[in-house]
Amino acid sequence: METWAVVVAGGTGTRFGAAKQFADLGGRPLIAWSLAAARQACRGVVLVLPAGSPPDPWDADAVVAGGSTRSQSVRSGLAAVPETADVIAVHDAARPLARLALWEAVLEAVAAGADGAIPAAPVTDTVKEIGPDGHLVTLDRSRLVAVQTPQAFRASVLRRAHLAAGDATDDAALVEAAGGRVVLVAGPADNVKVTSPLDLVVAAALASVSPP
């Protein structure tokens, strides 16, 4: 089974205040952590960066420019993945602490027959939905999960789902909309997403205690 990874780092860091994928985490760029894990888990790695990013000897088989949305950036990455790939994992570089065991778990779930596999963690906060009129509805958190990356998919299924050229906050949504069967694996609490400078501090603390 030939596995490839698309590491998505095509954002401009509007909420972070800078291009967070190049921010320092434990003495190396944030993006380098995700690339190292992808390289361990997969046969090949495609890195998606913002257009005009400074050149660097990134540990990737191909480096491509992203688009204006996350889905467009993923499609740019998919175009660089060889047709020989059987399974493709998509990972947000903003999750630098995703461990090899998590990569292996989603890849193995697809190898076992699922169209896709995604890590998910229980929601611990009370979650409310705001209606159009401002009315609040409390959701049953026992039925909710917070989804993470890496997400793995049968290559043919992922490519077909992206042919519709839709946009979604994760690739599983596109695969689900196309009728694919996506399964869950346990998402660890320390697989944090770096969105703000505070998140980077948290990630640094976690990495110093238990490096991936």
54 has pLDDT over 90: no
Taking all residues of the chain, what is their mean pLDDT, rounded to a whole number? 92
Tell me the pTM. 0.93
- The residue-averaged pLDDT of 66-88 equals 95
Q: Where are the domains of the chain?
A: 3-209
Q: What kind of fold does domain 3-209 have according to CATH? A: Spore Coat Polysaccharide Biosynthesis Protein SpsA; Chain A (3.90.550)
> Is residue 165 left, alpha or beta, with left meaning phi > 0 and alpha meaning psi from -120 to 50?
left
Supply the pLDDT for residue 114: 98
DSSP one-letter string for 48-83: EE-TTPPP---S-SEEEE--SSHHHHHHHHHHTS-T
